[in-house]
Structure 1
């Protein structure tokens, strides 16, 4: 769960699309980042951040770059202008911004990416994935984290988590494939009654056609996910690349480079093939739920 801590900030999906197109136009024109920097009277580092989607691109700067790259097609200019406006607007808008005081930058950025993604693959070795948590479970985890102090802050965070879950039953639902270790099912987060309800909720959510839940049992021994949880987000846009969010005790790291993302795809594939089948996983969850008695 992204909390208050150090992080490598992610780019936005639309910003990355725009930056990637600008890079391709620059390379097609045979120009270096130094030439592009001269056009904007900025540093080469800023051009790199623009092309990586790390910083927003103002329309005057966009047009200056496209002029330098000798891009004159009106349809291309109009399309990229719209893309820039959409990318910049998405950085500022979103229902989650009303909860700004209780959300770390990492979490706001994650929700913004989740809002435009169409599928998420996640491996969890400590917690039930956030999109599948009950309010009582969320509340217990939030209190234990000690990142939020007042009851009002805690309840606002719970509201955010519940609001995110609406995408699972939307008209165009988010696809979620979650693999978690068996230990997650035994940890009594919130006490036995809350945990039993959480496991029953997992079973109910697994019945949705867009949700797959698998359990990696203790008997599988050592596995690649023992080093920590992670999420893989995919997007419907053709030019959008997958991104990975990893978590550790001191912060969270976003990864976008193909080799790194490819490594986590392989990790997830190994986890899902090593885990129990979805049907076997549901049976295991039901059995363990009976063990959580007051």
Structure 2
């Protein structure tokens, strides 16, 4: 999430919506000043709208779409749905806002909270929503991001709270594709890893959790560039948003074309991976092969 500007903040969903309107304006050959006159605003406000700094009103979106010559009602409704989701996201007072160590993950956790589906590709680790407390704790111990042991326990608490999205009346649909290496890397030692693999098998039994394993024997694949998540929303037009985390930064993929590239990459890796039942058999075999 970008730094606040006054009492506003540039959100991922806001930037996604603003980017769509900016492209429509450019295609129609209109300027920000002309758009501002149509909605009785200033060019500065239009610039902020297109940059995701301020929430958008439905009447403004309708007027601008008409001004830009957009006649596809379904497309316009999709933009309105995305705007509604962004407004709700801005108003939300989630538990993560009270935990300082969430830090740069705050925007991701907020998006995760309103998502209906997440697809994740992981090369080195079990996905966070499927990790056990002991596995999380072991990752914390191995990290240099903490200065006091209490911060590790806070990380465990934060991640287990996030896992609540997989339960309840509206559970998150979660599709994880994991490279075999992540299952063989003994994070925390053999006992911790065995518990993690057994938990992974248990979670994979849930109807809304789909786990696939990309085995070593698959050879070269489309996911070598790195791990990433694709976050999806129920509203029409609320397009997928990609997310990847590096050593020193996080990247939100907000453009439609770039997001489609992530979706295609995920689909290709998923097709190369074992079916869920065969994946479970491999996970079980790896777990049994870990001698305590």
| Alpha-carbon offset, residue 140 of structure 1 | 1.0
User: 2:250 aligns to what SS in structure 1?
Assistant: strand
Which of 197, 200, 203 is residue 201 of structure 2 equivalent to? 203
Instruction: Report the 3-state secondary structure (helix = DSSP H, G, I; strand = E; otherwise coil) of the residue aligned with 2:121.
Output: strand
TM-score, with length taken from structure 1: 0.80
Correspondences of 1:11-30 after superposition (within 5 Å): 11-13=11-13, 15=14, 19=18
Residue matched to 1:156: 154
**Do structure 1's residue 267 and structure 2's residue 272 form an aligned pair?**
no
In the alignment, what sits opposite 1:88? Answer: 90
Gap regions ≥5 residues in structure 1? 1-8
**1:157 Cα deviation from its structure 2 partner:** 1.2
Aligned partners of 1:56 and 1:186: how far apart in 2?
46
C-alpha displacement at 1:57, in angstroms? Answer: 3.7
* Partner of residue 174, structure 1: 172
> Cα–Cα, structure 1 residues 280 and 87, in superposed 2: closer, same or farther, change >3 Å?
closer
Q: Choose the corresponding residue for 1:190, options 188, 191, 194.
A: 188
Residue by residue, what CA displacement relative to the aligned partner does 1:216-264 show, whole Å, maximum 9, x if unpaired? 0111111111111000111011121100011222221110212111111
Q: CA deviation at 1:58?
A: 8.5
Cα distance in 2 between the residues matched to 1:125 and 1:28: 40
Task: Output the CA distance in 2 between the equivalents of 1:167 and 1:36.
Answer: 40
Structure 2, unmatched stretches of 5+, are 1-8, 67-76
Give, in whole Å, the separation in 2 of the partners of 1:182 and 1:80.
36
Superposition CA RMSD, Å = 3.3
Is residue 12–residue 87 contact of structure 1 (8 Å, CA) maintained in 2? no
Aligned residue pairs total: 270
Displacement of 1:85 after TM fit? 5.2
Report the Cα distance in structure 2 between the residues aligned to 1:81 and 1:283, rounded to whole angstroms: 43
Is 1:33 aligned to 2:42, yes or no? Answer: no
Query: Post-superposition shift, 1:31?
Result: 4.4
8 A Cα contact 2:228 2:243, kept in partner:
yes
Corresponding residue of 1:219: 217
Matches within 5 A, 1:71-110: 86-90=88-92, 93-99=93-99, 101-105=100-104, 107-110=105-108
Displacement after TM superposition at 1:28 (Å): 11
CA drift of 1:40 comes to 4.8
Once the two structures are TM-superposed, the CA of residue 126 in structure 1 deviates from its matched residue by 0.6
Residue pairs, 1:273-284, within 5 angstroms:
273-284=271-282
Cα distance between partner residues in 1 of 2:86 and 2:272: 43
SS in 2 for 1:104: helix
Instruction: Give the 3-state SS of the residue equivalent to 1:227 in structure 2.
Output: coil
* 1:208 Cα deviation from its structure 2 partner: 0.1
